[in-house]
Structure 1
Amino acid sequence: MKLLRLSFISLLFFSSLFTACQGAATHVVSVASLLKEMTSREQLTKFPEPQYITKHASSYDRRSISANDKFWFANWDNNQWTSVEENNGRTEYVLLDTDQPGAITHFWMTGIGENRGQGTLRIYIDDVKKPVISQTLRSFIGENKAVGYPLSCSVSPLAPVDERGHNLYFPIPYAQSCKITYESDLIIKDERGKGEVLYYNIDYRTYIEDVEIESFTKTSIADNKDLIVKTNQLLLNGGSSDKVKQSKGFESFDITLNKDAEVVISQKNIGAAIHEINMRVQEDNPRQSMRSAILKCTFDNSQTVWVPIGDFFGSGYKITPYETRYNKVSGSGNLTSKWIMPFEKSCQISLKNIGDVPIRINGSLQFNAYDWTNRSMHFYTSWHQFTGIETGKADKSMDGGNGIQDLNYVTLSGQGVYVGDVLTLFNDNAPLGKTIWEKEDGTFRHCWWGEGDEKIYIDGEAFPSHFGTGTEDYYNYAWCKPETFTHPFIAQPSGDGNMTPGYTVNAKVRTLNALPFTKSLKFDMELWHWNKATINYAPTTFYYMKPGGKNNIAPDYKGAKEKVLVDYEELHKSEKNNS
């Protein structure tokens, strides 16, 4: 009896232990957990747990099937649906239909014609026939007063409201399934007809590990009111939900970089993480120096960062004030980065001058403690410029062709997470003084450079799981609007080169819609220009990878040594004088 009783007690003990371990291993995902994750900088430095895949749904032209097909660059990127359903006498256009546990992490839309997003959005969760959301699309996405700014926003606020991109960053988790539909009697059946035209892009997670999900309900916004307010405040003031880490040192520097000189500004032989980098180029109007000064970072004996400082801080090569969650540029020229850059044993940070004149730079670095684990990753930045690239001849066709091409932002191999990018370009388009939508001698003229779609391939996909609707849509504004804007996740510090020839910078950072990959990631962007042009096109990419990861972008000394171009009239002043 004693042996039997002991065995029974042992059984209960091990059963309880197993249950406890099971409970400890189960991750709970909810609106609250996702909002807290959104404001954690450190969480991006570790490969996701529980593991998920970020997927994408959009209104891209469905004729784009293969890179070998003539419609690969087709551009009717609107009113394209997953399916069309009849429901209680109403027609619902299905934007997304997934039957796997996950969460909506970002929703963007814009429109033209009648209505412009004023039809009814419905979101159905976990196969329940009654939607948890039923209201106008724009009021829920970009004008959601219950969620507030910046979780809900429309940009640029300087542009007419009907010509903005409307964004929702508020997460919508679901335990089993999610279907998103849109109803509008004005949706046109013929893409060339009159009525409402809708463009949309949706990022969503699919969890591939065991996870417990508390699905979004009708009361989820009200139930999390205080946390939503706190989240908006943290996003706007640059705060973090991470626990405060012990300082591992504050280092300042003030150096003059002579031609071809490289100076180590910090070196450590103990594990920690960079939490903030500040710099300032000591020139009244730095331009070439912002491109000539190269930031180099080596973590644990592997160089992972080689980038011109202006592009690294997201300002390109002009001092254009803006602020996202990870970068800030002030009007006086102070440059700040808040990417967390961990290392297990050592790091070396240096600045190199590849230009022809000396550059004086001062600044500081803040190091904090960091717990390196088997999920930790190094921070990477890649930069290169497509210099003087030809966009092809002018064409009115929406079917693609005539010089349109895919440009590679970056291709990665290994395990990691893609977290953002900055695009700096100079658009040398059209004769002086010409603007968009002009015809001269039968030539179709349009200065807009960014009609092309992003195509992102994850873990060896044959067809991109992320296929967008235009470069400005990827950067979450709309209609090639030149007005500037700044937001925790997106920014256009300069849009001078959008509607007219000139200089443009677009920036995007990712949190909940970051892109994990286990083997590889390839990011291409179409260069789809409305007019024959020559363009300098420089993408900067930000990502984390586990030690051993590789990228295809070698240090682009040639591109960084090119003369920077800022003003079209200045560029062609000598040509005018000579003529």
Structure 2
Amino acid sequence: AIVRWWITGRKFKGSIRIYLDDAKEPQFEMRADQLVGGDGLVGEPLSAERAGGRNLYLPIPYAKRCKVTFDRNFYETKNREDRLFYQINYRTYPPGTPVETFSRAGLEAAKDRLAAIGETLLDPDPPLPETPSVIDRRVRIEPGQAAEIGFDKPGAICELSVRLDANDPVQALRSTVLVVEFDGEQTVWCPVGDFFGSGVGVNPYKDWYRRVDQDGTMTCRWIMPFEKECKLSLRNLGNQVVEGAVSVATRDWSWDDRSMHFHANWRQQRDMKTKEPHFDWSYLTARGKGVFVGDTLALVNRSETWWGEGDEKIFVDGEAFPSHFGTGTEDYYGYAWGMPTFFDAPFHAQPRAEGPKQRGNVTNTRVRLLDAIPFSESFQFDMEVWHIAKTTVDYAAATYWYGRPGAKAATGPMPDEASQPVRYHTK
């Protein structure tokens, strides 16, 4: 099934044709900007233009095969207006999996349901279970200390909210780290601001799993199950007192051989030199069985020129060539042309983009549902660092994934980096 499209171009003159299974003629044919980012198949929020990038998140399943063509080939016409940049993400299923091939009749039958799904995606605040267990706590954390909340019976975190207050709130969001142990195994170590997709400072936005409010309240709704016990802590690695509020809601969970622990890892590298030459920078390398479900990139760009020409490369289960090979960092996050424009949507957002031009602190984030990436043995996600200018950049990446017990990331906690003063492009 095709699960995600992204395209951009200067002008959309050509048509995309989709052939499914044994069809000799295309079942769907329309102009590229009508299909992706338009209302040719479905409207917002599943299909929309955001900061120059056009996105389609309507799944297109097929039982046998799929062919997609575009009829304005730049390499034949040599007309720059015919250039179409694109990404198509698709899932494959084991042989014998029953799949109903996408059709116009099926699309029409699902019209009302798709409209309801769209409304839900735009208001992603589902009610808690009827009988959740909720712990609300005020915290005061001295430098070098931690505030802890524990659970000693099976369950799953279904909502987590944090709001921090400090003399320097921006620094507090980077130097206060969320640490979670599930069943005696530490799987989450991530600065609070990065964990919730805000990056540096409070940058209000919302996607399907997370929300950042103007008052600094940050909420996530990833389900985080545990078989026996869980310990959640906020560790203050900074040199100021941090106060705030924490709310944790849990629900019942029946742990089985398909259940996985939630992971969130973070790594930062500062003063990376660009154009000497381009290089791949690791977001995450993990061993074990799991599912990759999203990431956040918070960076500092010291030049007014574009920082994000680099492509993502994702290797699953030790493959020699990446099964995901992108077209540019902003393309991966669903926008285009380096636009420093705020946007938020159910599955991707740019909560922070300063300027002038592309200079400053930037936060890009993406979460995955149908385009989540399962792996059986290993997972490697690299992002190429490719800047137009010869300068230096700082990258900090948070990655979110599920893993069976024993799955581990290659990079461990980085307390020395999280405790460093937050940088701005003017400093």
Summarize the alignment of residues 338-349 of structure 1 with structure 2, pairs less than 5 Å apart.
338-349=221-232
**Contact 1:188-1:194 at 8 Å conserved across structures:** no
Q: Give the C-alpha shift of residue 500 in structure 1.
A: 3.7
Which of 202, 209, 222 is equivalent to 1:326?
209
Summarize the alignment of residues 138-537 of structure 1 with structure 2, pairs less than 5 Å apart.
138-144=33-39, 146-156=41-51, 164-184=52-72, 187-189=74-76, 194-238=80-124, 245=129, 247-264=131-148, 266-283=149-166, 286-392=169-275, 402-429=276-303, 435=304, 447-496=305-354, 499-537=357-395
In 2, Cα distance between equivalents of 1:173 and 1:562: 47
Q: Give the C-alpha shift of residue 246 in structure 1.
A: 5.4
Matched residue type, 1:259: P
In 2, Cα distance between equivalents of 1:199 and 1:349: 43
Q: Give the C-alpha shift of residue 187 in structure 1.
A: 2.7
With over 3 angstroms needed to count, the CA separation of the structure-2 counterparts of 1:215 and 1:352, relative to structure 1, is: same
In 2, Cα distance between equivalents of 1:365 and 1:221: 39
Q: CA offsets, 1:443-464, max 9 Å, x none?
A: xxxx211100000000000110
Q: Give the C-alpha shift of residue 285 in structure 1.
A: 6.3
Counterpart in the other structure of 1:95: none
**Contact 1:498-1:504 at 8 Å conserved across structures:** no
Matched residue type, 2:134: F
Matched residue type, 1:135: M
In 2, Cα distance between equivalents of 1:128 and 1:468: 29
In 1, Cα distance between equivalents of 2:258 and 2:87: 30
1:137 and 2:21 equivalent?
A: no
In 2, Cα distance between equivalents of 1:209 and 1:542: 29
In 2, Cα distance between equivalents of 1:497 and 1:279: 29
In 2, Cα distance between equivalents of 1:542 and 1:566: 25
In 1, Cα distance between equivalents of 2:414 and 2:133: 32
Q: Give the C-alpha shift of residue 562 in structure 1.
A: 1.6
With over 3 angstroms needed to count, the CA separation of the structure-2 counterparts of 1:200 and 1:354, relative to structure 1, is: same
Matched residue type, 1:495: A
Q: Give the C-alpha shift of residue 145 in structure 1.
A: 5.7
In 1, Cα distance between equivalents of 2:76 and 2:220: 47
Q: Give the C-alpha shift of residue 130 in structure 1.
A: 1.7
**Contact 2:288-2:408 at 8 Å conserved across structures:** yes
Q: Give the C-alpha shift of residue 209 in structure 1.
A: 4.6
TM-score, normalised to structure 1's length?
0.72
**Contact 1:247-1:369 at 8 Å conserved across structures:** no
Unaligned runs of 5+ in 1: 1-102, 157-163, 393-401, 430-434, 436-446, 572-579
Q: CA offsets, 1:375-414, max 9 Å, x none?
A: 010000000101111113xxxxxxxxx4211000010111
With over 3 angstroms needed to count, the CA separation of the structure-2 counterparts of 1:348 and 1:391, relative to structure 1, is: same
Q: CA offsets, 1:397-444, max 9 Å, x none?
A: xxxxx4211000010111100000000011122xxxxx4xxxxxxxxx
Q: Give the C-alpha shift of residue 117 in structure 1.
A: 2.6
Summarize the alignment of residues 65-144 of structure 1 with structure 2, pairs less than 5 Å apart.
103-112=1-10, 116-144=11-39
**Contact 1:246-1:369 at 8 Å conserved across structures:** no
The secondary structure found in structure 2 opposite 1:513 is coil
With over 3 angstroms needed to count, the CA separation of the structure-2 counterparts of 1:225 and 1:195, relative to structure 1, is: closer
With over 3 angstroms needed to count, the CA separation of the structure-2 counterparts of 1:284 and 1:169, relative to structure 1, is: farther
Q: Give the C-alpha shift of residue 482 in structure 1.
A: 0.3
In 1, Cα distance between equivalents of 2:176 and 2:222: 19
The secondary structure found in structure 2 opposite 1:207 is coil
In 2, Cα distance between equivalents of 1:365 and 1:233: 26
Aligned residues: 427
Unaligned runs of 5+ in 2: none
In 2, Cα distance between equivalents of 1:286 and 1:219: 53
Identity of aligned residues (%): 40
In 2, Cα distance between equivalents of 1:216 and 1:248: 38
Q: Give the C-alpha shift of residue 567 in structure 1.
A: 4.6
Q: Give the C-alpha shift of residue 317 in structure 1.
A: 2.0
**Contact 1:304-1:380 at 8 Å conserved across structures:** yes
Matched residue type, 1:299: F
In 2, Cα distance between equivalents of 1:300 and 1:326: 23
Q: CA offsets, 1:523-566, max 9 Å, x none?
A: 00000001111111001000000001011111011211221123
In 1, Cα distance between equivalents of 2:261 and 2:356: 35
In 2, Cα distance between equivalents of 1:259 and 1:525: 34
In 1, Cα distance between equivalents of 2:416 and 2:138: 27
The secondary structure found in structure 1 opposite 2:92 is strand
The secondary structure found in structure 1 opposite 2:197 is coil
Counterpart in the other structure of 1:552: 410
In 1, Cα distance between equivalents of 2:19 and 2:32: 14
Q: CA offsets, 1:145-166, max 9 Å, x none?
A: 651111101102xxxxxxx110
In 1, Cα distance between equivalents of 2:40 and 2:319: 39
With over 3 angstroms needed to count, the CA separation of the structure-2 counterparts of 1:299 and 1:323, relative to structure 1, is: same
In 1, Cα distance between equivalents of 2:420 and 2:246: 26
**Contact 2:339-2:358 at 8 Å conserved across structures:** no
Q: Give the C-alpha shift of residue 190 in structure 1.
A: 7.7
In 2, Cα distance between equivalents of 1:118 and 1:228: 28
The secondary structure found in structure 1 opposite 2:83 is strand
In 1, Cα distance between equivalents of 2:371 and 2:168: 36
